[in-house]
Amino acid sequence: MATNKKMVMAGSGTEVKSWEVDIDVMTHAIRWVQEHPDLAQQEVEEMELHFPMFIATIASGNKAISCSRCGEILVWNDGIRCVACNKPFVPRMASQLCCIGQIPSIIGEVNTNGQFIRGKCRPFFRRIYPRIRKLPANERRYFFSVGPGGEAGENIIFYFSPVVYGIYPDNWNRDMPTILLEDEYFRLLGIPTEHVFPDHYAQGYKLCNYASWPRVTLRVTLQQRIVPRIIMDLMLADLQSVGRLHEALGNMGTNTHSVYNIIGRGGRQSRAFEREYNIHVKL
């Protein structure tokens, strides 16, 4: 059995709540799970192992449904219920299986006086760090820090941790999952929303992931396409932060749209991008 977990408010503090993902209930709510419960089982088990910050939830029209009482995420826990207030949910229309979670990357390190540690801070981090505490809650949740103490040593390590939605199509896995990033992602990074497709109902941006779908799992899709994409976007945000994004891309004969076709493929153009990046960006 796969387990999901989430930090929830409890009294005046927080606690980690965990539960077994209820595949039986999923078979009643989602057609393809009824036909292929083994596929659903594999999906939630792989996600638990490789992306433990993700939670399986329910969506409709590519939009995650949240608790009508408190707005928190609905989970497959002994039925479908709110993770925070336990209010049960009964789906009334076609439902989709959806995984929501965050994918963290280290972006910088400061000492206890708040001074940047040389060689460990992305320009994006140097730019955003003074603003992190003042960000509205929906943007603030994209950042977390660890330390001082323990593995972090004497310093405080900061992570950029964007929220990612993976929504399974009705005919899984003959079609690819829809991967959505929120407006906040592009706003915080300060990069253009090119090469992504606005989904106005879901209030996010769809990523273009595969020209030809190899019928892999969501876990593999995230590892092959989304993790590299986030690293790439952090590099673009760094170039933007030092005011050299368009110059760097121009030197390579590309732009903010086509650059996504270059990176991650390796080869000469990929190395050219790394070279341009290293000329303009000093950590």
Provide the binding-site residues for Zn ion, judged by CB under 5 A. Answer: 67, 69-70, 72, 82, 84-85, 87
Nearer to Zn ion, 9 or 152 (CB): 9
Nearer to Zn ion, 9 or 220 (CB): 9
Distance, CA of 105 to CA of 36 (rounded, Å):
34
Distance, CA of 121 to CA of 112 (rounded, Å):
15
Nearer to Zn ion, 70 or 94 (CB): 70
Nearer to Zn ion, 87 or 141 (CB): 87
Query: DSSP states of 194-253 as a string?
Result: -SEEEETTTTEEEE---SS-----HHHHIIIIIHHHHHHHHHHHHHHHTT-HHHHHHHTT
Q: Shortest distance, CB of residue 85 to Zn ion, whole angstroms?
A: 3
What token pair was written down for 268? 């000469």
Secondary structure class of 91 (helix, strand, coil): coil
Q: Are strands 163-167 and 178-182 parallel, antiparallel or unpaired?
A: antiparallel
> Which residues lie below 8 Å from residue 33, measured CB to CB, with a gap of 6+?
23, 26, 27, 39, 40, 97
Q: In the block, which residue shows the tokens 């390190």?
A: 109
First-to-last CA distance in the chain?
Answer: 43
Nearer to Zn ion, 84 or 207 (CB): 84
Q: Shortest distance, CB of residue 6 to Zn ion, whole angstroms?
A: 12
Q: Shortest distance, CB of residue 81 to Zn ion, whole angstroms?
A: 8
Nearer to Zn ion, 84 or 230 (CB): 84
Q: Shortest distance, CB of residue 135 to Zn ion, whole angstroms?
A: 25
Nearer to Zn ion, 47 or 84 (CB): 84
202-to-81, 178, 186, 188, 192 alpha-carbon distances in Å: 21, 11, 16, 19, 19
In contact, 40 and 33? CB cutoff 8 Å = yes
Q: Shortest distance, CB of residue 104 to Zn ion, whole angstroms?
A: 26
Q: Shortest distance, CB of residue 88 to Zn ion, whole angstroms?
A: 10
Q: Shortest distance, CB of residue 65 to Zn ion, whole angstroms?
A: 12
